[in-house]
């Protein structure tokens, strides 16, 4: 039987800040995005802030209302990445099958390592103690025979703990937890499950599989399997690349956008970044564009649609994005943040039915020339006139400042 670990660095960003500034250890802190550019959202908090009710993802002003003594610290992603890499070097002492799930989480397949280091719980304890002594941060480790339950276990006891979900105890351990604790059960899915009378993972495991398939489609069957511990997905070996399913970028604007031409301007800026990254990826052209919209009341909207023809051109992506935006029912509220992503890639030269091959080739040559200039002189060396209307936005290097998020975030 496989032995899978899920390692989750506790309050990672906050722990890194305390590591650099030990005087913060005894005060509530929150690591936040840039307040200047209105990214003042809590990205991480320490245990003192958490005990005061501070939550990841809420606005800093809300957090400070709950915890008046809260100290906010600007995020330093390069520093966090250095610590993350040091921790992964420790994982490599135990296995080469390591699959990252964001900067602070990894799955490890230690099935073959048991002959050298003991059972899963013993390996997890060795990792936990080594990370703490050598890197100064703590980690919670879940142990199971599959990735889904290993992830579930790592969330059950924090900080600095090891939890085992085994074939012998999973009904008593996992099934009592809320269905929303299961990986990939988001808010919308949890709501649908509650409508079906499914509150816990055990309820999901014992549910009528046909009913789940009817109400949730194929995803209902997948979640049914997960709840029953039937997950055979492998832990990818270090160095192997995960298949890229989408390329996207998003931005919280420094001001609310009310006019459609302003919104289109930001779509163009984002699409330029997406187009450039798509060209560099070698994935070909995209057939689907997806947008995400956040209004000034923090309501979230999303919509996706097919492109007229497969494309990697920024303007065509932006044109598709603004068409999707017009189709959204956002009630005309000012826009705070936008996101653009492309997917469904094809390397086939599927040009339109009217045979505008020459036009497509000219666009490709122009895009290649622009990319060449930007590679040599920087991403802001050449810009669209539309974007230059806003000096603050035109000064942003969205592609250069892009941060990779866990798969499935835009």
Residue 351: pLDDT band (50, 70, 90) is very low
pTM of the model: 0.63
246-394 has the same fold as 175-227 = no
Q: Which of 31, 35, 6 is nearest to 16 (CA)?
A: 31
Can you name the CATH fold of 1-168?
Alpha-Beta Plaits (3.30.70)
Of 92-96, 126-130, 219-223, minimum mean pLDDT range: 219-223
Task: Give me the pLDDT at residue 348, please.
Answer: 56
Helix (H, G, I), strand (E, B) or coil at 88: helix
Helix (H, G, I), strand (E, B) or coil at 196: coil
Task: Give me the pLDDT at residue 369, please.
Answer: 58
Strands (E) across 165-262 are located at 246-257
Say which residues have a Cβ less than 8 Å from residue 162's Cβ, sequence separation at least 6. Answer: 121, 124, 125, 128, 140, 141, 142, 143
Tell me phi and psi for residue 57, to 5 degrees: 100, -10
Task: Give me the pLDDT at residue 371, please.
Answer: 58
Could you say which of 3.60.10.10, 3.40.50.10610, 3.30.1490.100, 3.40.50.2300 is the CATH number of the domain covering 246-394? 3.30.1490.100
Residue 80 and residue 219: Cα distance in Å, rounded?
A: 34
Tell me phi and psi for residue 146, to 5 degrees: -150, 165
Residue 361 and residue 108: Cα distance in Å, rounded?
A: 46
Query: Which alpha helices (DSSP H) does 245-289 contain, by range?
Result: 260-281
Confidence check: pLDDT of 122 > 80 = yes
CB atoms inside a 10 Å sphere around CB 82 = 12
148, 226 Cβ separation under 8 angstroms: yes
pLDDT in tens, 263-300: 998 998 899 889 888 877 777 889 999 999 988 887 88
Tell me phi and psi for residue 59, to 5 degrees: -65, 150
Pairing between β-strand 285-295 and β-strand 246-257 as defined by DSSP bridges: unpaired
pLDDT in tens, 130-175: 999 999 999 999 999 999 999 999 999 999 999 999 999 999 999 9
Q: Which of 285, 275, 331 is nearest to 306 (CA)?
A: 285
pLDDT in tens, 47-85: 999 999 998 878 888 899 999 999 999 888 889 989 999
Confidence check: pLDDT of 403 > 50 = no
Report helix angle 209-216 to 187-195, nearest 10: 130
Q: When comparing pLDDT for 334 and 41, which is higher?
A: 334
Q: Which of 130, 187, 177, 185 is nearest to 154 (CA)?
A: 177
Task: Give me the pLDDT at residue 101, please.
Answer: 83
Tokens of 8: 């989750």
Residue 180 and residue 160: Cα distance in Å, rounded?
A: 23
Catalytic positions, please? 105
- Percent of the chain having pLDDT more than 70? 80
Alpha-carbon distances, residue 289 vs 7, 14, 21, 48, 312 (angstroms) = 34, 35, 43, 42, 11
| Burial class of residue 100, CB neighbours in 10 A (0-12, 13-18, 19+) | middle
SS3 sequence, 20-75? HCHHHCCCCEEEECCCCCCCCEEEEECHHHHHCCCCCCCEHHHHHHHCCCCEEEEC
Mean pLDDT of 95-120: 92
Tokens of 162: 């090891």
Q: When comparing pLDDT for 353 and 301, which is higher?
A: 301
Residue 91 and residue 108: Cα distance in Å, rounded?
A: 8
Q: Which of 96, 100, 44 is nearest to 406 (CA)?
A: 100
Confidence check: pLDDT of 409 > 60 = no
Return the CATH architecture of domain 175-227. Orthogonal Bundle (1.10)
**Domain ranges within the chain, ordered by starting residue:** 1-168, 175-227, 246-394
Q: When comparing pLDDT for 336 and 238, which is higher?
A: 336
Residue 370: pLDDT band (50, 70, 90) is low
């Amino acid at each position: 039987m496989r032995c899978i670990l899920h390692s989750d660095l506790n309050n990672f960003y906050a722990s890194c800040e305390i590591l650099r500034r030990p005087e913060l250890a005894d005060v509530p802190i929150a690591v936040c995005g840039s307040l200047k550019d209105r990214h003042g959202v809590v990205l991480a908090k320490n245990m003192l802030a958490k005990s005061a009710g501070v939550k990841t993802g809420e606005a800093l002003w809300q957090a400070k209302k709950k915890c008046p003594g809260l100290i906010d610290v600007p995020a330093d992603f390069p520093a966090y990445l250095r610590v993350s890499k040091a921790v992964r070097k420790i994982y490599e002492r135990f296995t080469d099958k390591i699959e990252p799930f964001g900067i602070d989480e990894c799955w490890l397949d230690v099935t073959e390592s048991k002959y050298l280091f003991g059972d899963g719980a013993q390996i997890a304890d060795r990792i936990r103690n080594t990370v703490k002594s050598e890197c100064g941060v703590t980690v919670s480790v879940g142990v199971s025979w599959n990735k889904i339950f290993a992830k579930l276990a790592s969330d059950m006891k924090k900080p600095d703990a090891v939890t085992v979900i085994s074939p012998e105890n999973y009904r008593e351990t996992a099934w009592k937890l809320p269905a929303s604790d299961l990986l990939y059960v988001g808010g919308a899915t949890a709501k649908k499950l509650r409508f079906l009378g499914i509150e816990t993972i055990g309820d999901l495991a014992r549910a009528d599989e046909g009913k789940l398939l009817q109400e949730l489609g194929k995803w209902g069957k997948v979640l049914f399997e997960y709840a029953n511990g039937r997950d055979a997905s492998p832990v990818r070996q270090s160095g192997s690349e995960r298949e890229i399913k989408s390329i996207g970028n998003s931005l919280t604007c420094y001001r609310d956008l009310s006019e459609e031409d302003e919104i289109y301007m930001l779509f163009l800026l984002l699409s330029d970044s997406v187009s450039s990254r798509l060209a560099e990826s070698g994935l070909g052209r995209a057939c689907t564009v997806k947008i995400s919209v956040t209004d000034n009341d923090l309501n979230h909207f999303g919509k996706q649609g097919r492109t007229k023809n497969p494309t990697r051109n920024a303007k065509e992506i932006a044109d598709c994005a603004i068409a999707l935006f017009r189709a959204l029912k956002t009630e005309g509220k000012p826009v705070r943040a936008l996101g653009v992503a492309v997917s469904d890639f094809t390397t086939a030269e599927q040009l339109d039915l009217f045979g505008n091959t020459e036009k497509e080739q000219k666009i490709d040559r122009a895009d290649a020339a622009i990319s060449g200039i930007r590679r040599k002189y920087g991403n802001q060396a050449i810009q669209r006139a539309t974007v230059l209307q806003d000096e603050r936005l035109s000064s942003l290097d969205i592609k250069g400042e892009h941060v990779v998020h866990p798969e499935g975030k835009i």
